[in-house]
Amino acid sequence: MAIGVIENARLLVGGYDLSGAMNAVNLDELAPLLEATTVADVGKARKGGMAGVTLAASGFCDPEIEPGLAAGLALTDVPVSVVPVDTEGELAYFFRALLARLEPLGGAMDDMAEMSIDAESSQGEATRGILCAHRTVTASGTGTAFEVDPGGSGRLVTAALHITAASASDTLDIVIESAADEAFTSATTRLTFAQASAVGYEWGSLAHVGTDTWWRVKWTVAGTSPSFTFAVTMFADTAAVGTASDAFTDTENKWINNHTPDAGFTSWIEGMNGPNALFISSNKLKCTAGFNFGRDHVLALPALEDDGFELFADIVPAGNSATPGIKFRCDDQIKTVWNDSATKSDFMGLYLGLGSGPTLATFNVARYADSVQAENYAVASSVNLGADLYTAGVRLGVTVAGATVQAWSEPYGGGTRTNRGSAKTMLVTYLDGLHRQFGLWRGGNGEINTTWDNLTLTYLA
């Protein structure tokens, strides 16, 4: 966008298009100056604080918009998009906001009735992306393909969806796709927004490993006479692909608490308070004692994972009573003994059910809240993996983004990946900055002699 006057701009707040009402918009990015002076300094010392963004918009009172803005006052994580030129492919600023102030009515006699709003970022700073789509649609279709962020091996995809008009009793489904070429010869769905049937909004983000550089919006409408107006702002950012890993190569019979991981994190903690159950055996981690509720006990330190990551481990179950797996989105609470009723922990996990035979496995995704099962889904039942799990093992993995959890498996040691069941949308995400640890899942006594190896967390920094 060249230097010029403000015209044909777009201001979107949640599910409302304020462009026809506001005539002044100020977007400020800032980082506070924090006092950092110590007695050793010879002058004032300051450091920059965490960056944020504020929005101030003012204009004319619109009675069709004002009630919705009033209802959204004090809500957090409401997407705000500011588009200087309302043309697809043009620059867009967007962020998650707290609607901090609304002046619903102002002005003097015989003046135009005025309205103004203030908003501040509720998470992070503004993203500079593009207006990927802004359309009124009555039929299913795809938007224009845009090349965003060429190069690199990682992507952090961030997008804001604003639905500003919706026909009654109809539905709209929107996804963001990527591809290696402009023709979208082989398209991959990267972000899926919840089905909409009314005015609304959604923020989406996904971290993944990949090299696609072309992106577009795809929509599907259904119903009697569908008509929806929506806008999508997005950015696909190259990010450094980071890993945390442990091949459990160490001295024989070393307890996991005394073992140093390979890369990306510093230690393990098994909070059993004896007898200790997990030791190095033949350069694998082996369970030598079983405890009911053992799923609460094993965590990696420090907290690492955030939204958008893959976690896997090579596992050889001891037998059909074993329910081994991996944990993620854990808080930092860990039981000191197996029957510790005072310590309550939150976590999610992917674990195997093995009661049907040595080649069959059921893939289960679960969430615990205060050490009590809150969600549990058999996402794929009695899957024939084609090998004796008790001798050959399996690579058990999960891809996590937002509320979505996708279970998958590969042959032990790596190979062709197969998704197990459909991606599961969890009712609670634990995306609050407090659930950022991962660990090992042990269901109970059945894990004695089970081994874990090559545990790897891949994420986008």
DSSP string, 365-391: EEEEETTEEEEEEEEEEEEE-SS-TTT
Give the pair of three-digit tokens for residue 216: 């577009």
R_g of the chain computed on alpha carbons: 26
**70: DSSP letter:** H
pTM, 2 dp: 0.57
The CATH number of 241-460 is: 2.60.120.200
The pLDDT of residue 155 is: 61
The pLDDT of residue 272 is: 56
Question: Average pLDDT for consecutive 10-residue bins of the chain (461 residues)?
Answer: 66 89 83 76 75 84 78 78 92 86 79 83 82 96 86 69 94 92 90 91 74 90 96 77 83 91 86 68 87 64 74 93 91 69 85 87 94 93 92 94 90 91 92 84 82 86 45
Domains of the chain, residue spans: 10-32+51-238, 241-460
Please confirm whether the linkage preceding 226 is cis (ω < 30° from 0): no
Q: Is 283 helix (H, G, I), strand (E, B) or coil?
A: coil
The pLDDT of residue 461 is: 45
Q: Rounded to whole angstroms, how far apart are CA atoms 42 and 266? A: 37
